[in-house]
Amino acid sequence: MSRSPGRKQENHKISRELFVLTYGALVAQLCKDYEKDEDVNACLDKMGYSIGIRLIDDFLARSAVKKCRSYSETADVIAQVAFKMYLGVTPSVSCSNTTGNEFSLILDKNPLVDFVEELPAERASLCYCNLLCGVIRGALEMVHLAAEVSFLQDRLKGDAVTEIGITFLRKPEDRKHRR
């Protein structure tokens, strides 16, 4: 059987839409289960972390990226390869400080909020896409890079863009082998 050339793209779009709708249902259920937004945010971060520690193996196998030599190179790989591979978007990267360990990923379009217009007023402190922070933190930890990851700006909260902040906490230790 022959397949039409546009078929794979169509399946990818359907899968993405299904994922986005399922994610929305997950967040809605967590909002019903937890009274406080902080608890929902923590749960989303924890879920994302679990995904990230498993997703890194798939990422390394499929992307064939080499070992990053700097934090800026790591941030670029996250933006240009990982986000593109899994979410179909490429955020821009900016360094936030002079020491070179703080970066921002700026998303002009966040695919996780395709079907969300705004957060309800009673959920103003909800970080709807906090799963992404957990995924990034978990994946980085698996390659021995401790980091704090959080949303700095969010379009769902009225900001102009969606911005994820990544702060690398320490440099990887150079291990010397004894013979």
pLDDT of residue 96: 79
Fold (CATH) for 36-117+126-168: Muramoyl-pentapeptide Carboxypeptidase; domain 2 (3.30.1380)
DSSP state of 164: E
Strand partners, 105: 93, 164
Which residues make Cβ contacts (< 8 Å) with residue 69, sequence separation at least 6?
A: none
pLDDT of residue 89: 92
pLDDT of residue 65: 92
**How far is CA 151 from its chain centroid?**
10
- The domain ranges of the chain are 36-117+126-168
Instruction: List the pLDDT tens digit at each of the 179 positions of the chain.
Output: 445 555 555 555 567 788 889 999 999 999 999 999 999 999 999 999 999 999 999 999 999 899 999 999 999 999 999 999 999 899 999 997 888 899 999 999 898 998 888 888 899 999 999 999 999 999 999 999 999 999 999 999 989 999 999 999 975 454 344 44
Q: Which residue has the tokens 């593109």?
A: 84
DSSP state of 125: T
pLDDT of residue 161: 92
